[in-house]
Amino acid sequence: MPADEEKSVYLTFDDGPVPGPTEFVLHTLKSFQVKGTFFCIGDNVRKHPEIFMRIAHEGHSIGNHTFNHLNGWKTDTQQYVENTRRFDETARQVMPGFKTSLFRPPYGRITRSQLRRLPDYQVVMWDVLSYDFDRSITPGSCLHNTLKAVRNGSIVVFHDSHKALARLEFVLPRFVDKLLSEGFSFKSIAI
């Protein structure tokens, strides 16, 4: 890569907004002055509207992660599409005028039929999964493995959930700090 070419990474966070984990992520991103993309669950938006609004007000991108974190491979197409649209309705109730074209299928599982029925969305997958949700992985291993996998242009998945919090609190600030020291910038995915 030429020396003048920018190196960048996309930080993404799945499963929020959740009191505690999402607030930790927002605080960390603000302390490093970087942006991320949050793929939110509609039911969590309904339960925690103030955190959802904070994500938007702090300048991060927001994507749809269905209303109930449905696995597309195990869900009827009509039910999946309705559940995805329900996220949009809930988000607009919290923030009138809210619109996103970003969609991440929970577990990365979606059928062709479901995709065809959701033409307004840009499906955003990832190339680096932090495994911060896996309680059998130590925080140190989570950090090491995530740093080892990241490349220029990587889309990295973390989870702003209670299940991931112990690893997230250790990994996220160290991950961001290390990549910044290596000349990376962090970008949010455009809506």
Tokens of 117: 């029925």
Nearest one of 64, 62, 84, 63 to 72, comparing CA atoms: 84
Rounded CA gap, 110 and 75, in Å?
Answer: 9
Token look-up 């995915």 returns 189
Residues with a catalytic annotation lie at 14, 159
